[in-house]
Amino acid sequence: MFRKKEPSRQVDQVVAKAVNYELTIADLAQRSQKRAWMVATVSLAVSVMLAGGYYYMLPLKEKVPYLVMADASTGTATVARLQEDFYNQQITSSEAINRSNVAQYVTARESYDSEIMTLRDWNLVFIMSTPQVGAGHKQLYMENNPDNPFLKYGKGKSIRVKILSITPLGQRAGGGFRGAAVRIQRNLYEKTTGISTFIDNKLVTLAFDYNDNLKLDEQDRLQNPLGFQVTEYRVDNDYDKAPPDVGAPAAGASVAAGVAQPQVVAIPNSDLAAPAIGVAVPAATKPDVAGSAEGISIGTDGARGQ
């Protein structure tokens, strides 16, 4: 009467299905939880990356003040960026060397002074030029050239060059540059009166390279230790207004003040003498034992070569 009823096969199947259903629901919930954590982790990583990107992009959106300066004499406007540390500006060594070589070359080539050019400038131009570029400079001083500075200015006048700006050209991926645009101002200096007169502004465009195989003697290597060579050189007019003329100094202020003037002593058998140029450069002579070497003429003797 109280005998335990044997479970039927159908009941076992129903119970098994119910258990499997519960397991399936739990498994689905666990999988869904894993996916939710994965999505949350990825979202957090993306948020951190975006925050880092905004952090590095903020300086690009910063308002940077600029100072625009106009030259009262030439009217040329230049833009300068204001910096907190003005005196400790950083510049790479290669850029500093390039700028120095460019400035030395342009100054030596575009300036003129008959009494001192053969001491350094004439030779410097040729040891820093390729033969093709140096030939153009030599052509300027040919006897049949009406623009020969020796014929136009003689000994009593000289051309002073002021470098206004140097703009690098031909930037390289590894740093440095192999070209430059140089703005210069030329002034005519009267040695007898001390008056400096504005001539013009020029825009010099040049390309250069460093020749490791450039053969130079010891003296030339001191002036050009890295084998700097200008491969292309061009001069164009820079149409700026003339600055106000510099007035003559007070009477007797330059000579009578008793300021010692540098002495130019000719070097015997020097290789720096200018080769075959129009009006002959004063020949190199031995220094006078009595100490009568002729100084740079800024007095009345300066007009003799005109």
Q: Is the pLDDT of residue 6 over 70?
A: no
Q: Where are the domains of the chain?
A: 93-242
Number of Cβ within a 10 Å radius of residue 306: 12
Given CATH 1.20.1050.10, say whether it is the number of domain 93-242.
no
Number of Cβ within 10 Å of residue 179's Cβ equals 19
Whether the pLDDT of residue 105 is over 70: the answer is: yes
Provide the terminal-to-terminal Cα distance of the chain, rounded to the nearest Å. 152
Return all residues near 103 (Cβ < 8 A) that are at least 6 apart. 163, 166, 182
Q: How many CA atoms lie within 13 A of 270 on its CB side?
A: 21
pLDDT digits (tens, 9 = 90+) for 239-285: 766 565 544 444 444 433 333 343 333 333 334 445 444 444 434 33
pLDDT of residue 298: 32
pTM: 0.54
Which 3 state secondary structure label does DSSP give 211? coil
